[in-house]
């Protein structure tokens, strides 16, 4: 539904919103498409996009040096040779793109489960935007789990998370936060459904092999906590048009 094909005198140009997944810091609401003969122009409010390279190179007819056209006024639109098209459903779908922080805990790494865990998210169809092996300092672990500070198991939790390297990941996709939690399964692996990561690969809450953000807000917070600027990668998966229409 979110695909528009433009066939003009020049090169045919196919556009899909899945090519336009913007980073967390981007203003996903301020986006419009403008179509003119032989031209497809993406107009965004780029004030928050500076950390990432523009996707404009994906469009063969994109005029890299020409600024996007101004919004149409009611009077000028009729006289203009350009036709402006605003696609609210496209903007809505882009707004649902979320980010989540997934982490293979030290036991997952020690048990050789890194590939298996990454594979679950890859196969589902989410997009990996950050990945690193990392020895977590105590302060970071405490900040990450600050909501659990009053819990009796907090000291052991911090000791566990800092006991060896973890694998930090940022994943992106529509509905990725809730879906990742489903893929991971319940906190207690014995209660986690078979087919989930914890349900298949773990037996105890204190060794439940993987972390996943519990809300889109925490996804952003945790990615900002665990990744430095420049460690995340904006890219377009080749399979994108085969995952979302």
**Catalytically active residues, by annotation:** 211
Whichever of 188 and 234 has its CB closer to ligand DAT, that residue is 188
Considering only residues 122 through 141, tell me which ones interact with ligand DAT, judged by CB under 6 A: none
Structure token digits, residue 216: 């889109």
Q: Which range binds ligand DAT by CB under 6 A, 22-30, 48-56, 204-212, 237-245?
A: 204-212
Q: Which range binds ligand DAT by CB under 6 A, 11-19, 30-38, 84-92, 206-214?
A: 206-214
CB of 195 to ligand DAT, least distance (A): 16
DSSP states of 54-105 as a string? Answer: -SGGGSTT--SSSPPPPPPPHHHHHH-SSEEE--HHHHHHHHTEEEEEEEE-
Q: Which residue has the tokens 């990615």?
A: 223
Determine, following the binding rule CB under 6 A, whether residue 193 of this chain makes contact with ligand DAT: no
Structure token digits, residue 83: 């036709």
Q: Could you say which of 50, 53, 119, 153 contacts ligand DAT (CB under 6 A)?
A: 153
Q: Could you say which of 211, 220, 223, 227 contacts ligand DAT (CB under 6 A)?
A: 211
Determine, following the binding rule CB under 6 A, whether residue 144 of this chain makes contact with ligand DAT: no
Determine, following the binding rule CB under 6 A, whether residue 159 of this chain makes contact with ligand DAT: no
* Position of minimal CB gap to Mg ion: 214
Handedness of CA 234, 235, 241, 244 (dihedral sign): negative
Please, which residues have CB within 8 angstroms of residue 27's CB and are 6 or more apart in sequence?
A: 44, 45, 47, 48, 49
């Amino acid at each position: 539904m979110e695909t528009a094909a433009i066939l003009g005198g020049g090169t045919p140009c196919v556009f899909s919103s899945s090519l336009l997944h913007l980073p967390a810091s981007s203003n996903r609401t301020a986006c419009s498409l403008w179509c003119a003969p032989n031209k497809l122009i993406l107009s965004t409010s780029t004030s928050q996009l500076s950390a990432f390279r523009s996707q404009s190179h994906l469009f063969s007819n994109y005029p890299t040096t020409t600024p996007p056209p101004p919004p149409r006024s009611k009077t000028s639109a009729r006289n203009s040779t350009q036709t402006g098209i605003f696609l609210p459903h496209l903007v809505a779908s882009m707004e649902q793109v979320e980010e989540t922080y997934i982490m293979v805990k030290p036991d997952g790494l020690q048990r050789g489960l890194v590939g298996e865990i990454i594979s679950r998210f890859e196969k589902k169809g989410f997009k990996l935007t950050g990945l690193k092996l990392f020895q977590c300092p105590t302060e970071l672990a405490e900040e990450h789990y600050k909501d659990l500070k009053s819990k009796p198991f907090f000291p052991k939790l911090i000791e566990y998370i800092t006991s060896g390297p973890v694998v930090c990941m940022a994943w992106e996709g529509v509905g990725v936060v809730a879906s990742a939690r489903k893929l991971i399964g319940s906190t207690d692996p014995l209660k986690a459904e078979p087919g989930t990561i914890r349900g298949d690969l773990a037996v105890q809450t204190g060794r439940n092999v993987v972390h996943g953000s519990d809300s889109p807000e925490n996804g952003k917070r945790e990615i900002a906590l665990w990744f430095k600027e420049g460690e995340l990668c904006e890219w377009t998966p080749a399979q994108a048009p085969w995952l979302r229409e």
